[in-house]
């Protein structure tokens, strides 16, 4: 199971990095979301995908899955939500003010 | 257990929350943020006193013993850095009062400044790796806002790049943490150190340590600094001073903590890589500082140069060089804040950041001129001034550790600092050029002079009172060179 997850994560990373290296700003932001998805799955996977009950004590099971990575992922998801929404608004604002979403044209000159 | 440990984090956090409600009352915001910073300085000084008397102070959040709960640790290194952070931030805040513009002040400038401080101080104090990530994000998100606040075209453009690079490095941070957790199953720094020692660092753990190095090097501008010169030249001076003094140093702190506390077993591998990165940073930073005629660029490359220099102290990793690293880090935070403030004053006096359009400022602004000159000498490390003790310890540690080439590069980098800053001094203050437009003598508000003067006094004081400061710094160096002190303090029964 971990092997398949590792392959999926690898593909997500590859696609994310490919998108980040492109010219258009929106593709770059999509790329960052894909990379974030990849790291969240990675967190889940490296903590071992053994079968067990959901981490609720009411389940009264023999064994539970590891609760710690789930808490870490939850934290990380919220943080990346915040940053991504800020990034989107910034991209919108930059498009309004600068009139382009092409990173080549956003290189910048000193005389602005 | 000591609740004083969390106060330096709690005070800016509460202040920020209060300031959000007062966003229209600019005058009140200024006073509240200044008073809270001053109180915090007193608290941090008390904390330093306590740590020097009773050793490492810890606070187990919610009473959960480590490694199960989050622990806040104040050893001498982090306590000193917190105190220095607050002093540098107070200088930047005073400078911001009348220079940053009413419009920014009404749009939550002060709350974000306090949130930034909360993030920085949290990063210094925490004893948990994931908590370090969260504090990093608190700091970074505030820094995104502070960079873009004002919304000029240049700011928007550079913020896009700054955010992108930091999202990526944060993603890499979580990825390396995930792999570390999968390998040794803990996130508490002291406990990680124990487990790494048990597992005999090598193979997988070496790779994880290099991933952490890449992450923190991206934040600190250690070799991976290509984002820094652009991003640090767009916001107003007070913000640049804050960033130049604090943000890269948090990355450096994380590098130092990682490679003195957790991954110190295979120094032949990890520290050689840090040494190469440090050398490259010093060389490239030196070239950048010498190449440009734009004051912002020169100062930004000076930040990069000093990051390389501090990493050199870490890579040697003898007791002496670690003492020197602590001393130099403290000096550098204060000195860089002052350097950017004086640079901002020069730029606003000449109405240009280009050296060709400055000149003859010494007649109108003798105080600024001579402060800049003395500060340049302090940054180079001329004996009675503050940069000297740290540099001497690091260089002699480097020679003792047998790193002759690296030490030679470090010493040469001091020359580049001297060259670049004296070039700014001569270009801006001495040269009289009849072709230059005559600008009227600018009168700054009192708060600007107070901020520059206070930081200047600290820089002089750090130099003259070097022996007294050293007694604290050597206590910090002791913990860095002997991680078992830290581990015992955190994981005691």
Contact B160 A90 (CB under 8 A): yes
Strand duo B57-60 + B71-74: pairing: antiparallel
Task: Give chain B's mean pLDDT.
Answer: 92
In a domain, A107, yes or no: no
Domain ranges for chain B: 3-491
Distance of CA B179 to the CA centre of its chain: 28
- Bond into B309 cis (ω within 30): no
Residues of chain B contacting residue A20, judged by C-beta atoms under 8 Å apart: 164, 168
Contact A98 B156 (CB under 8 A): yes
Closest CA to B254 of B394, B137, B165, B126: B126
Could you give the dihedral angle defined by the CA atoms of residues B169, B172, B178 and B183, in that order, rounded to the nearest 10 degrees?
Answer: -120
Candidates B129, B144, B167, B234, partner chain A, best to mutate (most A CBs within 10 A): B167
In a domain, A14, yes or no: yes
pLDDT tens-digit map of B169-187: 999 999 999 999 999 989 9
Average pLDDT over residues B431-451: 81
Contact B174 A90 (CB under 8 A): no
Please report where in the chains the tokens 């792999």 appear, as a residue: B179
A98 touching B, CB under 8 A? yes
Average pLDDT over residues B440-462: 88
- pLDDT band for position B440 (cuts 50, 70, 90): confident
Candidates A83, A84, A85, A112, partner chain B, best to mutate (most B CBs within 10 A): A83
Phi/psi at B72 (nearest 5 deg)? -105, 130
Average pLDDT over residues B326-336: 94
The answer to whether ipTM exceeds 0.90 is yes
A26 touching B, CB under 8 A? no
For residues B290 and B422, give the distance between their C-alpha atoms in angstroms, rounded to a whole number. 11
Contacts of B131 (CB under 8 A, 6+ apart): B70, B122
Distance of CA B291 to the CA centre of its chain: 24
Do B196 and B262 contact (CB within 8 A), yes or no?
A: yes
DSSP letter string, B339-356: HHHHHHHHHHHHT-SBGG
Do B175 and A80 contact (CB within 8 A), yes or no?
A: no
Give the global pTM: 0.94
Take residue A65 and report the two structure tokens written for it.
Answer: 């899955």
Give the domain range for residue A65: 2-98
pLDDT for res A112: 46
pLDDT for res A60: 87
Which CATH number covers residue A51? 1.10.287
In a domain, A13, yes or no: yes
pLDDT above 70: residue B160: yes
The domain total for chain A is 1
pLDDT above 50: residue B286: yes
pLDDT above 60: residue A111: no
Contacts of B380 (CB under 8 A, 6+ apart): B387, B414, B415, B417, B418, B421
In a domain, A25, yes or no: yes
In a domain, A103, yes or no: no
pLDDT above 70: residue B1: no
Q: In percent, how much of chain A has pLDDT > 70?
A: 96
Task: Go through chain A and tell me how many residues it has.
Answer: 112
Burial annotation A10-25 (CB, 10 A radius, 16+ → b, else e): eebbebbeebbeeeeb
B330 three-class SS = helix
Contacts of B434 (CB under 8 A, 6+ apart): none
- β-pair partners for B58: B73
In a domain, A58, yes or no: yes
Task: Go through chain B and tell me how many residues it has.
Answer: 493
Do B95 and B89 contact (CB within 8 A), yes or no?
A: no
């Amino acid at each position: 199971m971990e092997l398949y997850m590792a392959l999926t994560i690898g593909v997500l990373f590859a696609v994310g990095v490919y998108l980040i290296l492109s010219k258009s700003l929106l593709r770059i932001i999509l790329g960052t979301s894909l990379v974030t998805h990849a790291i969240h799955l990675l967190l889940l996977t490296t903590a071992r995908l053994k079968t067990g009950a959901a981490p609720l004590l009411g389940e009264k099971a023999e064994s539970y899955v590891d609760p710690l990575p789930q808490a870490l992922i939850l934290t990380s998801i919220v943080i990346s939500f915040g940053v991504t929404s800020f990034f989107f608004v910034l991209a919108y604002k930059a498009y309004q003010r600068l009139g382009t979403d092409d990173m080549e044209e956003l290189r910048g000159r000193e005389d602005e | 257990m000591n609740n004083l440990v969390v106060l330096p984090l709690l005070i800016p956090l509460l202040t920020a929350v209060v300031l959000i409600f007062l966003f229209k009352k600019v005058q009140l915001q200024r006073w509240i943020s200044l008073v809270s910073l001053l109180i915090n300085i007193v608290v941090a000084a008390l904390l330093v006193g306590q740590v020097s008397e009773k050793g490492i102070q810890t606070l187990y959040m919610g009473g959960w013993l480590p490694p199960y709960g989050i622990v806040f640790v104040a050893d001498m290194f982090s306590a000193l850095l917190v105190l220095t952070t607050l002093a540098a931030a107070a200088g930047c805040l005073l400078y911001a009062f009348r220079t940053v513009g009413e419009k920014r002040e009404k749009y939550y400038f002060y709350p974000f400044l306090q949130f930034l401080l909360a993030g920085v101080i949290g990063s210094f104090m925490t004893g948990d790796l994931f908590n370090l990530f969260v504090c990093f994000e608190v700091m970074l998100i505030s820094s995104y806002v502070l960079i873009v606040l004002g919304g000029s075209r240049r700011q928007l453009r550079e913020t896009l790049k700054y955010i992108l690079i930091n999202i990526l490095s944060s993603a890499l941070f979580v990825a390396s943490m995930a792999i570390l957790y999968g390998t040794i199953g803990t996130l508490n720094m002291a406990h990680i150190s124990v487990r790494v020692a048990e597992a005999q660092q090598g193979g997988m753990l070496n790779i994880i340590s290099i991933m952490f190095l890449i992450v923190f090097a991206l934040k600190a501008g250690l070799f991976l600094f290509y984002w820094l010169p652009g991003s640090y030249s767009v916001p107003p001076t007070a913000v640049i001073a804050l960033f130049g003094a604090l943000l890269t140093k948090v990355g450096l702190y994380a590098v130092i903590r990682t490679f003195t506390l957790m991954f110190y077993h295979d120094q032949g591998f990890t520290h050689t890589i840090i040494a190469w990165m440090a050398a490259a940073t010093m060389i490239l930073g030196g070239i950048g500082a010498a190449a440009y005629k734009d004051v912002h660029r020169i100062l930004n490359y000076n930040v990069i140069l000093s990051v390389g220099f501090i990493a050199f102290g870490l890579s040697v990793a003898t007791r002496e060089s670690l003492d020197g690293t602590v001393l130099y880090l403290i000096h550098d935070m204060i000195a860089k804040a002052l350097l950017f403030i004086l640079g901002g004053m020069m730029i606003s006096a000449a109405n240009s950041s280009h050296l060709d359009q400055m000149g003859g400022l010494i007649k109108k602004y003798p105080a600024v001129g001579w402060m800049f000159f003395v500060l340049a000498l302090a940054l180079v490390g001329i004996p009675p001034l503050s940069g000297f003790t740290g540099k001497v310890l690091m260089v002699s540690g480097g020679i003792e550790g047998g790193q002759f080439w690296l030490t030679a590069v470090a010493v040469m980098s001091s020359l580049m600092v001297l060259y670049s800053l004296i070039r700014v001094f001569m270009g801006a203050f001495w040269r009289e050029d009849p072709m230059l437009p005559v600008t009227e003598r600018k009168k700054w508000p009192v708060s600007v002079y107070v901020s520059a003067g206070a930081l200047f006094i600290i820089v002089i004081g750090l130099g003259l009172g070097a022996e007294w400061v050293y007694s604290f710094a050597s206590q910090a160096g002791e913990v860095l060179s002997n991680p078992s002190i830290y581990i015992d303090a955190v994981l005691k029964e």
